[in-house]
């Protein structure tokens, strides 16, 4: 369908309402803080979007657990700063989310800021287990796990053990 505001074809149901509010299709870059109103815990991150009311609260692991536990309605996102481009946005995130910042017991961030949320993928295109970046590959994660099982069972079992330990530690964290 064609948008009556920007004359572009679109697939999203809310495209026209977003386009009406943002007719020049300006991309917003901002630093935000999401706070759980029940536990008082908070998450600070960055986001880029065409729609300021897109409902995005963050993508942190502990934050997602908090959203499941306490519900989306009990979390509030506040925009702290706007930026003209992503480079400035990530630089500011790096300044704010430091080791000292994440050591606060109420903080739900688990890594220092400035790099986005793809910490498992490094410049070589491989993640922490040495597997080709799944975003670029054509195999599904299930197929890759099956390859691991078949070709390197010891490494696969080590991977499963590490995931299990990590999940057990997460259960101990008060959300």
* Dist. CA 175–CA 167, nearest whole Å: 14
What does the pLDDT average to over 78-99? 92
Q: What is the pLDDT at residue 119?
A: 42
Mean pLDDT of 109-116: 80
How far is residue 156's CA from residue 169's CA, in Å, rounded to a whole number? 20
Q: What values do phi and psi take at 130, rounded to 5? A: 85, 10
State the pLDDT at residue 9: 58
Whole-number Å distance between alpha carbons of 3 and 7: 5
* Mean pLDDT value across the chain: 75
Longest dimension (CA), the chain: 58
Residue 130 is given by DSSP the state S
**Total H helices, total E strands in the chain:** 6, 3
Of 43-47, 101-105, 166-170, the poorest mean pLDDT is in: 166-170
pLDDT at 172 over 80: no
DSSP string, 81-103: EEESSHHHHHHHHHHHS-HHHHT
**Is it the case that residue 152 has pLDDT exceeding 80?**
no
Mean pLDDT calculated for residue range 70-95: 92
The model's pTM is: 0.58
Name the strand (E) or helix (H) holding 44: strand 42-49
Averaged over 56-71, what is the pLDDT? Answer: 90
Tokens read off for 59: 């993508």
């Amino acid at each position: 369908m064609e948008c009556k505001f920007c004359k572009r074809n679109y697939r999203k149901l809310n495209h026209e309402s977003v386009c009406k509010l943002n007719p020049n299709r300006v991309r917003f870059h901002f630093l935000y803080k999401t706070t759980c109103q029940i536990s008082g815990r908070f998450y600070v991150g960055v986001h880029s979007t065409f729609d300021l009311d897109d409902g995005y609260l963050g993508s942190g692991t502990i934050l997602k657990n908090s959203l499941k536990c306490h519900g989306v309605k009990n979390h509030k996102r506040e925009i702290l700063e706007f930026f003209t481009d992503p480079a400035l946005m990530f630089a500011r995130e790096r300044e704010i989310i430091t080791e000292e910042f994440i050591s606060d017991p109420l903080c739900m961030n688990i890594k220092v800021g400035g790099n986005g949320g793809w910490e498992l993928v490094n410049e070589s295109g491989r993640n922490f287990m040495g597997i080709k970046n799944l975003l670029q590959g054509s195999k599904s994660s299930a197929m890759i796990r099956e390859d691991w099982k078949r070709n390197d069972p010891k490494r696969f079992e080590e991977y499963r053990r590490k995931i299990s330990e990590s999940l057990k530690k997460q259960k101990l964290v008060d959300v």
